[in-house]
Amino acid sequence: MGISQARFGRIWPGHVDGLIAFLTHLRAAFDGDLDAALIMAVIGSAALPRGRMPDDLSYAEFRRMDKRDEYYSPLNTFSIAQITGIPRETARRKLAQMARRGWIIRDERGHWHVEPTGAAELEPMTQYSLEYLNRLATLLRE
């Protein structure tokens, strides 16, 4: 039995409350479009150096990292649609909307990247997600 099953009565309410708060913030930031939020999360996660990120890397250090592009896993519209389960044409429309907002850009190879404007405007969402994770980590330690 895992810790979440053993301490369900303490962990589950904190998880649900935190998830609701986080999704509410995401919904507002994406004008009610949680599919767009999911797409942006997938694009943003493509820049994470999975398997090569030090366990003790802080968020502040990650933000200052040089050459983050060397870790980037290229994602085109088709890949994003496959990962999210969102129909390709729907994903294409949502990607185009976020590109018009200046949040993402498509490179010459058709790969999507988060623009600095998008990262800056959505920084509060990152902070909310970190708060949610901190809450869960505290519940798991107690």
Please write the tens of the pLDDT for every residue from 74-99: 899 999 999 999 999 999 999 999 99
Q: Is the pTM of this model over 0.75?
A: yes
Measured in degrees and rounded to the nearest 5, phi and psi for residue 105 equal: -140, 150
Counting as low any pLDDT under 70, the low residues of the chain are 49, 66-72
Cα separation, 8 vs 29, whole angstroms: 31
Helix, coil or strand: residue 74 = coil
Q: Do the Cβ atoms of 22 and 129 come closer than 8 Å? A: yes
Helical axes 123-141 vs 8-29, angle rounded to 10°: 180
Please enumerate in sequence order all residues whose Cβ is within 8 A of that of 98, keeping only pairs 6 or more positions apart, or say none. Answer: 36, 39, 40, 104, 118
Give the integer Cα–Cα distance in Å for 79 and 27. Answer: 23
